[in-house]
Structure 1
């Protein structure tokens, strides 16, 4: 039964991601067709074709590797300035002139070949339907449509969760003297947190002072303590000085003496920057509150998620490098490392098969997982790098600005921005993304992220 539930979770997650990919591509295809563009292919997946069907001028289908999708819009690349500007046809409608140029450099030949391959798809009557000829704002709408759909999916799922089940948040204990939840028995470097204490580890100051879970801290070096934020500052500022701690246990007032230890620890939200501060070795008691809300509440929550995702995108190469080191056994895989669709499937299977969650909690967890993937996919595709959608958006935006500036100055139209010149960069980025994708998939198979469901 557990194996079947695990498989069900994997299937539901992968199915939801495939649906998301399909909707992403519709976000490109529908506006492209509405604006008069010609879309010849709509596929979910890559690699060998599993199934396809021709409907009108568009071939719809599925491919074997469910790691993405694409729509083929004719005329993505304009002809080069020194190349033939348009194709011509004979009386039988056969193309007799192709966009071609003699090149000797590797990159120039690559660009020329890409243009030639692009224009082989152009048929008689397509001249006014080419993507590069669309107004800049239409290009932006077409290319932004896909990732925008992913963000809308994420918003809809989070809204459904917050409006029904609610958003469980943890809040530190009410205002007043802080209640201790856990007390560290030893001092472990921040980079090694999570491991067990050894005989060589020094006792934690809090444990040495006699503090235990459930104690209420009332004073620190004679200063009355009113909350956790104040206590943290007192401990950090104390460095390695002596500390006299007043606390209550079961209504009895007690006092403990120790000296705080200096440790390099994060003092803000980021764990990348460590500062040497005083360390006591206690964590606060928290209470869990379920908040419910509608679209405005969801939007506020997603603003915070977006900020976290942008930070994660900036750290992605470093995080993937960490996964690569975990694969070869150099270090353990971090709990916050990125995962591929394989890792997402494993998480979904674990959530579905655990007996620690009821049915509603499993449904919410799976919906949240799919929503999180969609938010990441949407924001990732907005990165201004070819071949991502954001690269095309950046190119069209620059074209719009350049043409608008020329009109204001009453200068000649500078023409279309030639995205083909950025193809070498696109190939480098695509290669890097392929390598990172392979590393994550291998990592999810060999050293999957370990977590408690």
Structure 2
């Protein structure tokens, strides 16, 4: 029962953290929009039916039933098609709301209908005197600031969370204290993980190493980190070493002979290296001991590199997203396993958080560290994903504003009339297509996370 409650708690922590991240993302849009004088009619967290709202001034603030996104509604997102024509209202958020006209008029071309509907959808909500408070009338740099505000807020949140994680709690690092000693030596290619009669005794157990021993020196070389001991052991197969360990406050000298064995070769990301479709192995010394770990606080200089690594990981996933989605679909509808580094939905993230919270014999500090890491990585993902240069994402609006600036700049250089604002309403068919693709992607990932979840804990 306790593990079930902890699982639920872990999921709730991530849900609340995600909702807060979404809310602050929208604050990043809301504040500069209001500072620049744009009329903001709604600030909403979630989608679907409104479960709570209140009006303060000209803006309605509320929460909707499905907490998987958010938006603010600004008047005049699209410019009018002719002088004197009224601007329309649109929204900006994690997932744009595509307004549709209530007019049942039939039009010959479907795409033209989308464009016209986008212009006419909420023109009636713009009162007299609000024409100068529309979004499209802002200078380009102000529009970019408004659109960058949301992703920038997620970046700041990621930095803060990584700072708390690394500087406050610390990261798990191997110590020089022995945590476990293998009873037998199994080859890396063995399918079983338990010892059977007839298996060779592991060198560590044969030497008399015990859990709790602290490594002091190997063959006269003082050991200050687990990596130092590993490097010596790997290069000393078949060689008898003098091992000094601290046990119950006293130094104990043992005789250790590492066994020559084959081990898989891994890259810097912990992935197996393959050649011609087969995993690469190397002959190294093996003892059969593993370390304990402890949380070690990191300096402030470790924060930004951690954020950069998280951002880089998200960029890599997005650049390879088509193939990763294909792999996810193949795994979800077939017998294969999911890629642990592949994309997942909020359902998958919540499941992992629940499993972390329910783990037995794991210190609370380690669980808190894992939760902060998940939330920090989520905000790094939101930062990158929302900068993808496609409407309705923030990056699409930024690209549109930059294109307008370039177009006006060229017109000025050529002494041509100002071409005016970009008619972004013409991009509504593309926007509609992107929304459909994002929706299909979300459904695939949610389905995969339910029927074939990523397994990180064996």
Indicate yes or no: 2:21 matched with 1:16.
Answer: no
Q: Provide the residue aligned with 1:150 in structure 2.
A: 154
Q: Provide the residue aligned with 2:401 in structure 1.
A: 396
Q: Provide the residue aligned with 1:115 in structure 2.
A: 119
Q: Is the 8 A contact 1:6 1:352 kept in 2?
A: yes
Q: Is the 8 A contact 2:233 2:285 kept in 1?
A: no
Q: Is the 8 A contact 2:272 2:280 kept in 1?
A: no
Indicate yes or no: 2:105 matched with 1:86.
Answer: no
Alignment equivalent of 1:165, drawn from 169, 174, 177? 169
Q: Is the 8 A contact 2:185 2:201 kept in 1?
A: no
Q: Is the 8 A contact 1:184 1:282 kept in 2?
A: no
Q: Provide the residue aligned with 1:44 in structure 2.
A: 45
Indicate yes or no: 2:437 matched with 1:432.
Answer: yes
Q: Name the SS of the counterpart of 1:76 in structure 2.
A: strand
Q: TM-score, normalised on structure 2?
A: 0.74
Indicate yes or no: 2:30 matched with 1:25.
Answer: no
How many pairs does the alignment contain? 397
Separation in structure 2 between the aligned mates of residue 141 and residue 16 of structure 1, nearest angstrom: 25
CA shift in 2, pair 1:68/1:410, >3 Å: same
Q: Provide the residue aligned with 1:185 in structure 2.
A: 187
Cα root mean square deviation, aligned: 4.0
Q: Name the SS of the counterpart of 1:74 in structure 2.
A: strand
Q: Is the 8 A contact 1:183 1:283 kept in 2?
A: no
Separation in structure 2 between the aligned mates of residue 145 and residue 123 of structure 1, nearest angstrom: 27
CA shift in 2, pair 1:132/1:11, >3 Å: same
Separation in structure 1 between the aligned mates of residue 8 and residue 77 of structure 2, nearest angstrom: 41
Indicate yes or no: 2:364 matched with 1:375.
Answer: no
Indicate yes or no: 2:301 matched with 1:296.
Answer: yes
Separation in structure 1 between the aligned mates of residue 12 and residue 375 of structure 2, nearest angstrom: 12
Q: Is the 8 A contact 2:203 2:256 kept in 1?
A: no
Alignment of 1:308-387 (within 5 A): 308-387=313-392
Q: Is the 8 A contact 2:345 2:445 kept in 1?
A: yes
Q: Provide the residue aligned with 2:216 in structure 1.
A: none
Deviation, 1:396, is 0.9
Q: Name the SS of the counterpart of 2:77 in structure 1.
A: coil
Deviation, 1:63, is 0.9
Indicate yes or no: 2:399 matched with 1:413.
Answer: no
CA shift in 2, pair 1:270/1:315, >3 Å: farther
CA shift in 2, pair 1:255/1:444, >3 Å: closer
Separation in structure 1 between the aligned mates of residue 363 and residue 306 of structure 2, nearest angstrom: 25
Q: Is the 8 A contact 1:171 1:286 kept in 2?
A: no
Separation in structure 1 between the aligned mates of residue 416 and residue 233 of structure 2, nearest angstrom: 65
Separation in structure 2 between the aligned mates of residue 336 and residue 275 of structure 1, nearest angstrom: 21
Q: Is the 8 A contact 1:46 1:67 kept in 2?
A: yes
CA shift in 2, pair 1:252/1:50, >3 Å: closer
Deviation, 1:6, is 1.6
Q: Provide the residue aligned with 2:70 in structure 1.
A: 69
Alignment of 1:190-209 (within 5 A): none
Q: Is the 8 A contact 1:386 1:429 kept in 2?
A: yes
Separation in structure 1 between the aligned mates of residue 139 and residue 391 of structure 2, nearest angstrom: 20
Q: Name the SS of the counterpart of 2:365 in structure 1.
A: helix
Deviation, 1:349, is 1.6
Q: Is the 8 A contact 1:157 1:371 kept in 2?
A: yes
Q: Provide the residue aligned with 1:177 in structure 2.
A: none
Separation in structure 2 between the aligned mates of residue 296 and residue 133 of structure 1, nearest angstrom: 42
Alignment equivalent of 2:447, drawn from 415, 428, 442? 442
